Structure 1
Amino acid sequence: MLPASNRLRRSDDFRRAVRSGRRAGRRAVVVHFLVQADPEVEPARVGFVVNKAVGNAVLRNRVHRRLRAVMAARLPDLPAGSLTVVRALPTSAASSYDELVADIDGALQRVLDAR
């Protein structure tokens, strides 16, 4: 579970990360990543976008829980003040947990290396 201080909640933050941040896509997810100008003010925050293209409510909730668990384990690797948005693609509904881990790790590695 993500601590409340690490959750991305405001639509402006989502919009800023998606529009201004770096993007890396994999088979099941797209990761948008933005490091803010003043990183010491806030901890790293993560948000998720799992839309109806993924499937019905049961599938969307399962994908969301899996993505949240993967990102909770990777919070220490994210720089302070960063905004990360993980967008699930329709193929994420059929992906196993290990496939989601591999896709997120690959995408995160790509956006972190590009900084």
Structure 2
Amino acid sequence: MKKVRYITGAIFFGTAFFVLAIFVTMWLWNWLMPALFSLGAITFWQAAGILILSKILFSGGCHGRNWHSDRKKKYWHGRLEEKWKKIPDEKRERIIQRMKEKGFHNDAETEKP
């Protein structure tokens, strides 16, 4: 029973927050944009579209930064580490030397005894 109330409350407050955010977006647009850029006023649904579009564009997708992107990062770091270990020591030293010449080096690593 508690779980049902929690889910119902979460849906209600989530929806209320989203509707409030749409009204705030619409109010700010209709207050600022016509005066600043001579743009027309927008409706509730246009404000909802702007809010969703800005979420997608500025959060890196629908999910934003979460376990999907962390999982991808771990995957690619693992693949690069595997490739790096397969490179012979002489070639690895040449790569490190070229990177240092180009300014890509960690001073903390070079000071190790």
What TM-score comes out, normalization by structure 1 length?
A: 0.24
Higher relative contact order (CA 8 A, sep 6+): 1
Q: Which has the larger radius of gyration?
A: 2
What TM-score comes out, normalization by structure 2 length?
A: 0.25
Bigger fraction of residues in strand: 1
